[in-house]
């Protein structure tokens, strides 16, 4: 099931990118505010020419969103434990050098300063 959702996710993402790149830009934008856009393309173009591409874009975006949500919910339910909750094996005990039981004595022939 996870493989199928991942495949649908990748295919919808690639198709969504391609459909968005196929759409014709509206032009204008900020340029039309300062007299840069002529507006002739909008008057001469058919009013419903990009309707199919817009519907495909909305459908693919919805499919992408739904697969993302389903995968997120499935992942959160499958692993109820946090990574921090898992117990790691304790580190191997290292050998410490044997300590002598007699105290260290300071030689008396060292002059004091």
Go through the chain and tell me how many residues it has.
113
Task: Quote the radius of gyration of the chain (alpha carbons, Å).
Answer: 35
pTM confidence score: 0.54
In a domain, 45, yes or no: no
Phi, psi (rounded to 5 degrees) for 15: -65, -35
In a domain, 93, yes or no: no
Q: What gap in Å lies between CA 59 and CA 18, rounded to an integer?
A: 14
In a domain, 6, yes or no: yes
In a domain, 82, yes or no: no
Supply the DSSP symbol for 82. Answer: -
In a domain, 95, yes or no: no
pLDDT tens figures, 14-41: 999 999 998 877 765 555 556 555 555 5
Q: What gap in Å lies between CA 25 and CA 59, rounded to an integer?
A: 20
Query: Which residue range is the domain that position 11 belongs to?
Result: 1-24+50-77
pLDDT tens figures, 48-100: 657 888 999 999 999 999 999 999 998 887 765 666 666 665 556 666 666 66
Q: How many structural domains compose the chain?
A: 1
């Amino acid at each position: 099931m996870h493989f199928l959702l991942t495949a649908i996710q990748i295919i919808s993402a690639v198709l969504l990118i391609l459909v968005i790149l196929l759409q014709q830009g509206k032009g204008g934008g900020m340029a039309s505010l300062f007299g840069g856009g002529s507006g002739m393309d909008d008057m001469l173009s058919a009013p419903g020419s990009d309707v199919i591409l817009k519907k495909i874009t909305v459908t693919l975006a919805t499919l992408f969103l739904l697969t993302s949500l389903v995968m997120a919910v499935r992942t959160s339910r499958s692993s109820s434990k946090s990574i921090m909750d898992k117990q790691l094996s304790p580190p191997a005990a290292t050998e410490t050098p044997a300590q002598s039981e007699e105290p260290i004595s300071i030689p008396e022939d060292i002059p004091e300063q």
